[in-house]
Amino acid sequence: MINSVFRFVTLTLFLTALVTAPAVIPALAAGGGGGGDPSGATNPTLAPPKSDTKASNAVHKGRKKADKQSLFNDPAFAKGYREAYATIYDRNEYAAAIAQLRALGHDDEPHVANLIGYSYRKLGDYKLSQVWYERALRAEPDFVLTWNYYGLWQIEQGNRDQALYHLSRIAAICGIDCAEYRSLAAALDKPPGTGLVY
């Protein structure tokens, strides 16, 4: 299956290169996010962005440096975000994390919207999860982690074709060697209906 995924992504990248029109996010029919790395390890790309990392550059491609760092340069915002992050990944208290993230007052910031979507997914509210992942992608179309989570959510919902589309978006943003690509490709390689939770 993984060879099929790689062939699909290669073909998709080739066709994308042939088309010179700007990339447009199509209507995302059914989606949401996934839960990150299938192994359960905390994904370091969820932490506040760092301007010196390749992942951060891929996440924020096309944004001005001042724009992407301004909220995380605010000590109160950064502290609140880190606390919500810990609430999610250290304590698995998703409802509390949603309240913490909403209290930041920046729901359209992609990191915030992404974590809210992730929390709703972990609570089993897939419709609200979808809303928040799409909000994150509207705010930052190249937010690779949201494409990863959204693809994992698609797999949970049985939408493997949509997950393959998400995989191709990840490949276009950060290539096939980034953690987000490998995570989603590995999940797609598992047999459908295995009941895995991401």
The domain segmentation of the chain, as residue ranges, is 2-16+29-189
Using an 8 Å Cβ cutoff, are 47 and 85 in contact?
Answer: yes
2-16+29-189 topology per CATH: 1.25.40
CA distance 133 to 120: 10
Per-residue pLDDT tens digits for 104-145: 999 999 999 999 999 999 999 999 999 999 999 999 999 999
Q: What is the pTM of this model?
A: 0.68
Q: What is the pLDDT of residue 71?
A: 86
Amino acid at 55: A
Per-residue pLDDT tens digits for 73-88: 899 999 999 999 999 9
Using an 8 Å Cβ cutoff, are 59 and 43 in contact?
Answer: no
Q: What is the pLDDT of residue 142?
A: 97
The sign of the CA dihedral 186, 161, 17, 49 is negative
Amino acid at 113: A
46 closest CA partner among 82, 92, 91, 100: 82
- The yes-or-no verdict on residue 60 having pLDDT over 60 is no
